[in-house]
């Protein structure tokens, strides 16, 4: 799986948490939308954990691009923004799931496992 997140502290926290999870192989993270697309092309991850608000074109653009080029990849949007409008935008670009960055670690892990069809706890 690939983490695409521009906030260094949050990116490192996700990376460390997910590396400990059995059944989840974590690639070196991407720090912006373009890098997320490049790494998706190079590594073909099953799941991309995508920050909605990254510099440049942003996570929604990257999600749409990834889902158009590689429809088998699942993209989970992470954001600090709540509300139905943001959820709708995420769904419109092909996101598999939409989670708050405040979500419980178990909720994030469960969403990744479900998206990858690995199972749930």
Which domain CATH number covers 39?
3.40.50.2300
Helix/strand number for the chain, H first, E second: 5, 4
Quick one: what percent of the chain has pLDDT higher than 90? 76
- What pLDDT does residue 38 have? 97
More confident site: 94 or 81: 94
Assigned domain for 36 exists: yes
- The neighbouring-strand residues paired with 79 are 100
Q: What is the pLDDT of residues 18-59, one digit of tens each?
A: 999 988 999 999 999 999 999 999 999 999 999 998 888 899
Residue 21 lies in a domain: yes
Task: Tell whether 29 is covered by a domain.
Answer: yes
**Is residue 112 a part of any domain in this protein?**
no
Domain assignment of residue 114, yes or no: no
Q: Whole-model pTM above 0.75? A: yes
Range of the domain at 7: 2-80+92-102
Does some domain include residue 117?
no
Residue 110 lies in a domain: no
Task: Note whether residue 56 is domain-resident.
Answer: yes
Please give the mean pLDDT across all residues of the chain: 91
Report how many domains make up the chain.
Answer: 1
């Amino acid at each position: 799986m690939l983490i695409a997140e521009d906030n260094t502290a949050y990116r490192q926290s996700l990376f460390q948490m997910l590396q400990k999870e059995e059944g989840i192989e974590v690639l070196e993270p991407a720090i912006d939308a373009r890098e997320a697309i490049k790494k998706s092309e190079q590594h073909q991850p099953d799941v991309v954990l995508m920050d909605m608000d990254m510099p440049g074109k942003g996570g929604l653009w990257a999600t749409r691009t990834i889902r158009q080029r590689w429809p088998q990849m699942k993209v989970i949007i992470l954001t600090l923004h709540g509300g139905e409008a943001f959820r709708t935008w995420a769904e419109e670009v092909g996101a598999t799931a939409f989670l708050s960055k405040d979500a419980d670690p178990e909720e994030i892990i469960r969403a990744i496992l479900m998206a990858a069809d690995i199972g749930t706890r």
